[in-house]
Amino acid sequence: MNNAIKFIKTSGIYFAGNVLTKVLSFLLLPLYTSKISPADFGYYNLSVSVLTIVIPFFCLEIWSGILRFMLNPEGENGREKAIFSAWIILIFGFTVFTLGYIGAKLFFNVPYIEYIYVYAIVQTLQYVYNSIARGYGENLLYASCGLICSFINLSVNVILITVFGQGIESLYISVTLAMFIQVLVIELKVKTFKRMSLKLYDKAFMKEIIKFSLPLSFNTICYFFAGSYNSLVISNVLGLDANGLYSVAGKFVTVLTLVTSCFTMSLQEMTYRLSSDKNKGSFYTATVNYYFKFITIAILAIIPAVKIVYPLFVADAYSESLSVVPLYFLSTVASNYATCLGNYFMAEKKTKPLTISLLTAGIINFVLIHSLIGVLGMQASNVALFTAFTVSCILRLVMFKQIGEIKFDIKYLFVFIALFAITMLVFYFTGTVINIIWIIIVGFIFLFYFKDFLFPLISQISANILRRKQM
């Protein structure tokens, strides 16, 4: 139960930092959809999607290595060695990336390439510094910086769009500036550069962190073809307007990702720290099933809620995107659950199975999106992604048996399938009142499945509060 309380506490901090910041950004959606065309919004989303493969590839996704080795440091100055090694890799990666940028600028006509280049560099630094903050246990710093970043992004966006009449440029500028300030604040707090010294160079350690991170960087290629690649296909086949519509639907789906990311990050830290614990098997099984139940029950309530609020946030030009929301949520559940399972492999420092499962998912998604987009349109992306990540989840559950044991609750899976079918019917064929009633019913379903976890937890928290008052 102590682990549960620590898990909830850490998740709560991440909730404040991640969810609340994105809620502020979400409030900008009416401004985006009224002032920025679907084609421009589609191009912005496409460029950001491409960066999801470019940045980790050039920098070996070293921020994952930083977090892994800082949370479970090896030897004296293990955390500082992880950061120092990361900076060496980053300098090399930035150099190669800059040469690529110069070549692209000279020989290709890429709109807004200067904005994209600066965005990419600063976002990489943000990834690194967020991992450093978490590695030092500065979770509150991480959360507060996220809030500061979001407020700056919100303010600058509003000013640039409403006062200066800017369009797509404002999206790049506001986010880049906000991320840079976030990096600066974390650096001033943890004083990374003051901790650095040439004495921290350790060739053997450098090889170890590269060995851990390198497969993850290749995973980003697979992950691109198992996700972000679909934006490219939609843009090429259906047009940037369609990608803009799909991107707006994705903004609502981000609500689920943001909530689950809080638990994922907390879970990630706990699995890394408990990787040498003898009882980790029971912890893995419990968290896997609780996580799956949480995200699946969550979408049963979020989907009808989205239908209710959609007209309040989205201009008429984007209204067509509402139809793709339910299956978009379902594919996101599969993707998030695959990510959750990946944490256990990284805790055991076994990244090869992640590459195999992601490569398989990438191939499946590639084949299906090209086969179905002419028939299903934007919906083809959701079908392809759901199929791809479902297969990835199955592979990871099977492959984990070679290094440990996770018992998946198959009975609940069938319950969820039935409940999701009802949710689809409520979403597509009923009005606001029925959707609200269904949300309330889902609330009771949540309490039923989590009563054995919530009630003892609430009792212990209450007991702790009373104990402190008596002191």
Tokens of 215: 């497969």
Q: CA 289, CA 408: separation in Å to the nearest integer?
A: 6
CA 89 – CA 98 distance, rounded (Å): 14
Integer angstrom CA distances of residue 404 from 266, 278, 285, 340, 399: 21, 11, 10, 15, 9
CA distance 405 to 398: 9
| CA 188 to mean position of chain CA atoms | 26
pLDDT at residue 458 in the model: 66
One-letter-per-residue 3-state SS of the chain: CHHHHHHHHHHHHHHHHHHHHHHHHHCCHHHHHHHCCHHHHHHHHHHHHHHHHHHHHHHCCHHHHHHHHHHCCCCCCHHHHHHHHHHHHHHHHHHHHHHHHHHHHHHCCCCCHHHHHHHHHHHHHHHHHHHHHHHCCCHHHHHHHHHHHHHHHHHHHHHHHHHCCCCHHHHHHHHHHHHHHHHHHHHHHHCHHHHCCHHHCCHHHHHHHHHHHHHHHHHHHHHHHHHHHHHHHHHHHCCHHHHHHHHHHHHHHHHHHHHHHHHHHHHHHHHHHCCCCCCHHHHHHHHHHHHHHHHHHHHHHHHHHHHHHHHHHCCHHHHHHHHHHHHHHHHHHHHHHHHHHHHHHHHCCCCHHHHHHHHHHHHHHHHHHHHHHHHHCCHHHHHHHHHHHHHHHHHHHHHHCCCCCCCCCHHHHHHHHHHHHHHHHHHHHCCHHHHHHHHHHHHHHHHHHHHHHHHHHHHHHHHHHHHHHHC
Q: At what angle do helices 78-107 and 62-71 cross, to 10 degrees?
A: 170
CA angle 240, 244, 250 (to 5 degrees): 140
Residue 299 CB: number of other CB atoms within 10 A? 24
Q: Please, what's the b/e burial string for 43-68 (b: 16 or more CB within 10 A of its CB; e: otherwise)?
A: bbbbbbbbbbbbbbbbbbbbbbbbbb
pLDDT (tens place) for every residue of the chain, 471 residues total: 455 555 555 555 555 556 555 666 667 777 887 888 888 888 998 898 888 888 888 888 899 889 888 987 777 788 999 999 999 999 999 999 999 999 999 999 999 999 999 999 999 999 999 999 989 988 888 878 887 888 888 889 889 998 988 888 999 999 999 999 999 999 999 999 999 998 899 888 898 888 888 877 777 777 677 667 888 899 889 998 888 888 888 888 877 777 676 666 666 666 666 555 666 667 777 788 888 998 999 999 999 999 999 888 887 888 888 999 999 999 999 998 998 888 778 777 777 888 889 889 989 999 999 999 999 999 999 999 999 999 999 999 998 888 777 788 899 999 999 999 999 999 999 999 999 999 999 999 999 988 877 766 666 666 666 666 665
Task: Tell me what pLDDT residue 240 has.
Answer: 85
Radius of gyration of the chain (CA): 22
Relative orientation angle of helices 113-135 and 62-71, to the nearest 10 degrees: 10
* Pick from 62, 86, 67: nearest CA to 268: 67
Q: Which residues contact 205 (CB under 8 A, 6 or more apart)?
A: 74, 81, 82, 85
